[in-house]
Every structure is written in structure tokens, then in C-alpha cells.
Amino acid sequence: MEKNQAVAGNEKPKSKKFAIVFGAMVVLGGSYGIVKYMHAQKHEETDDAQVESLISPVIPRVSGYVKEIRVKDNQLVHKGDTLVILDDRDFVVKVTEAEASLAAAAGNVSVASAGIPVVAANTQSAAANVSTIEAQIEAAKVNLWRAKQDFQRYENLIKDHSITQQQYEQALAAKQSAEKQLDVLKAQQNSAARQTAAVQSQQGVSQGQVTAAQAAIKQKEAQLEAAKLNLSYTVITAATDGQISRVNLQPGQLLQAGQSLFNIVPADNKWIVANFKETQLAKMKPGQEVSVKVDAYPDHEFSARLVSFSPATGSKFSLLPPDNASGNFVKVVQRVPVRIEFTDPNDSRIKSLRAGMNALVDVHLK
């Protein structure tokens, strides 16, 4: 009987202690739930977020063999620094060949231009010859008129036997000679006119040759500039400041134009891409403040702001976007990428962030 009373006495303190602990847990759990509920009314969070950065690929513009590699993995470079040098001997030959072609084209212009004064002189000579023949024709017409007048007088006189037959025949011969002379001069005039036209045509041909030669010079100049440009492309330089990724190149390796060699990641211009569920977007707007914590710096909070929303969900930009019209449909909550940018320019840890790092994002809705 005494033992049963002792056991009952021990159970009462234990029950009281359990009730106190249970009550405290209920209070703490309720408080935590209330705090989380109140926090959820003013915040949207996600841990599906990564640090993003610009990545500038290093791509050769011409094909060639690697002559020299001047950078190493993870090296810091500045814009304009030489990264890789290709063997340029073939390109130097191309430049020399283009220079020789340009010189030949310039010589053709000189030759064609030299013929223009000669053709002009021939044109003037032909025009002068035509003028001379025209003057001779006018003189021949006068001689023919006088010979005809003399012949008509002698023709009347021969009828009266006032002159001899010989004098009559001389007048007739003079008239016929004047006629023939006029015909000859007219034929010469036609020939000179045709010669003048031919010379003038030759002048047009010479001018066309000069124009063609000048156009050829411009073409050769363009080819020379292209050859020099390709020669300059044998020196591959950095397009921006940043840090080199892994350099997987060897001297003597053949590179193709457009082949991606490695990347340059700038130290600045970093942002966050957070993938929020579509059910979280109702109260989110551009311009809202954002708190960001990166796994690499769990004790540091970065200040940021929401900038923009993606025009489509992430699945729509995938290589094989889902087609809900085929097969069995299963509703899956979609995620929308959101761009978040840092707002504190004096935060030195931003430069220490690396693209791809995981982050926890908290958007302040109010």
C-alpha cells in the first residue's frame, strides 16, 4: 500500500513536467508558425537561384596553327591583351600578293591614261584634215564653176567657128577635170569623216579603259585591306577585362575560324537569376528590394532589387519544350526566371562571386 502511494506521488511531478514542456513546445511552435506566416505575407523566397555573369568567348576569325599561347588558366587579363598568336606566314604571303596586284593595277591605269592624249591629238588632226578638205572642196567648186562658164562660152563659139577645135577640147577637158577633182575631194571628205568618227570612238574606248583600270585599283585596294585585316586576326586579343577560364590549347594545334577556344568572365557586371514558382509571382513587381545570401558567404547579406521577369517559363526555352497535347497530362508548377541586380556598388564581395554559385533570394513585397 505504501509502495503504490509512492509511485503515485512520483507520477504527478513527471506529468506536470511533461505538461509544461508540451505547453512550451506548443507556444514555441505556434509563435514560429505565426512569425513565418507574417513573414510570408511580406516576402517571397526561393533557393533556386544562381549567380550570373557575362561570359565573353574567345573565337578566332581566321584558321591557322597555334604559334604561341600567352595566357594560363584563371589568369586576369585586360582588354586588348594578347592571348594567342597564330602562324602568320601564309597571311604575310597573301598581303605581298595583294600589294603586287595593286601595283599592277596602278600600272594599267598609267598605260590607259597615257593613250588618252594620243587619241586626243589624233582627233584634233582628223578634225583639221576635215576642215582642210572642206576648204579644198569650196575651191574646187569655184574652179568647176569657172570651168563650166568657160566651156559654155567656147561651146557657143565653136558653133560659129570662132575658135579652133583644140581650144574647145581644152575647155571641155578643164571642165571635166574640175568635176573629177570635186568628186575626189568629196570622197576624201567622207573618208576623213569616217576616220574622225573612228578616232572619237577610240577616245571613248580609252576613257573606258581608264575607268575600268581605276575600278580595278579599288578592287585590289579592298583585297589588300582584307589581306591585312586577316593578318591582324592572327593575333587574338581580349575583348574585355576579366578572368580566363581553362585554356585547353597546345602550340601547333590547328584552329578553325569560329571555333570557341576558351572564355573570359568579367569581374564586374554580375547579377542573380532566381527561378520563382508561378504561384509566387502575384505580388512581385520590378523595383522591389531583395535580400540575397550566397552559399559561399552565408553570413553576408547582399542588397539587390528585382529588375525584370522572363517573357516565358524556363521550360519553354529548353531544348525539348514540353508538349501537353501529347501523352498523359500531369500538371507541374512552372518556374519563371527573374533577374535581380545588386544595388550596393561598394560591396567588395560582389567581385568575389563566381557565375553559377547558388543563392537564397528573399523578395520584399512591401
Summary count for the chain: helices (H), strands (E): 3, 14
Question: What 3-state DSSP class applies to 230?
Answer: helix
In a domain, 34, yes or no: no
Question: What 3-state DSSP class applies to 185?
Answer: helix
CATH code at 247?
2.40.50.100
Strand partners of residue 49: 274, 359
For residues 106 and 140, membership in a common domain is answered with: yes
Question: What 3-state DSSP class applies to 44?
Answer: strand
pTM (2 d.p.):
0.64
For residues 138 and 226, membership in a common domain is answered with: yes
For residues 94 and 213, membership in a common domain is answered with: yes
In a domain, 239, yes or no: yes
Contacts (Cβ under 8 Å, ≥6 apart) of 83: 58, 69, 70, 71, 77, 236, 237, 238, 244
**164-210: per-residue pLDDT in tens?**
777 767 767 777 777 777 777 777 767 767 776 666 566 555 666 66
pLDDT of residue 123: 64
**77-116: per-residue pLDDT in tens?**
999 999 999 999 999 999 999 999 888 888 776 666 655 5
Q: Report the distance separating Cα 236 and Cα 364, nearest Å.
A: 46
Contacts (Cβ under 8 Å, ≥6 apart) of 341: 271, 272, 304, 305, 307
- Exposed (0-12), middle (13-18) or buried (19+): which is 88, by Cβ within 10 Å? buried
pLDDT of residue 177: 77
- Residue 242's domain comprises 60-86+234-259
For residues 183 and 206, membership in a common domain is answered with: yes
Tell me which of 130-139, 242-251, 268-277, 354-363 is least confident.
Answer: 130-139
For residues 178 and 311, membership in a common domain is answered with: no
For residues 296 and 335, membership in a common domain is answered with: yes
Alpha-carbon 26 to chain mean position: 68
